[in-house]
């Protein structure tokens, strides 16, 4: 949930908290029997602010999970937005549907501070981070690297 400022009204704060609690319960109840293993951890979904991601190891499992999330959400008066929902598969080129409407399939999935492509890789994400690191390194040229009064040992520590 985004940070709440003092200018937010108490009713807005309460509704944001209630929305996030409801969304957490929807995901928990709909996906309690599903998971994807990552090392020793098992994950079914990832949530950030008001976005959510469902993880599955097959298109059939993803379809089942999405159907259950949509059903559980509708029981609370909420709905999944077909326009905002995207689907990425690293294995199969199969359509997934919400209420009979196909979810848009994408080649790359961007989630806050990360990116995954359809091959299961993060090459563009890694390249972007390397570029940012080089840019930051370059920004230190005048204030650090070319200054002779700063010892090399200290420069290397930074």
Per-residue pLDDT reduced to its tens digit, 11-55: 776 776 777 767 777 777 777 766 555 555 565 555 555 667 777
Per-residue pLDDT reduced to its tens digit, 121-137: 555 656 666 777 788 87
pLDDT at 121: 56
pLDDT at 58: 81
pLDDT at 122: 56
Per-residue HEC secondary structure of the chain comes to CCCCCCCCCHHHHHHHHHHHHHHHHHHHHHCCCCCEEECCEEECEEEECCEEEECCCCHHHHHHHHHHHHHHHHHCCCCCCCCCCEECCCCCCCCCEECCEECEECCEEEECCEEEECCCCCHHHHHHHHHHHHHHHHHCHHHHHCCCCCCHHHHHHC
């Amino acid at each position: 949930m985004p940070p709440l400022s003092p200018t937010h009204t108490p009713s807005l704060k309460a509704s944001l908290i209630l929305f996030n609690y409801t969304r957490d319960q929807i995901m928990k109840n709909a996906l309690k029997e599903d998971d994807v293993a990552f090392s020793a951890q098992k994950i079914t979904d990832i949530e950030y602010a008001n976005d959510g991601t469902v993880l599955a190891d097959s298109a059939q499992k993803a379809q089942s999970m999405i159907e259950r999330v949509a059903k559980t959400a509708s029981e609370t008066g909420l709905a999944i937005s077909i326009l905002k929902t995207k689907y990425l598969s690293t294995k199969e080129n199969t359509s997934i549907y919400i209420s009979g409407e196909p979810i848009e399939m994408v080649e790359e999935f961007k989630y806050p501070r990360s990116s995954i492509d359809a091959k299961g890789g993060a090459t563009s994400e890694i390249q972007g981070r390397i570029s940012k690191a080089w840019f930051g390194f370059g920004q230190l040229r005048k204030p650090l690297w070319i200054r002779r009064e700063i010892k090399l040992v200290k420069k290397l520590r930074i």
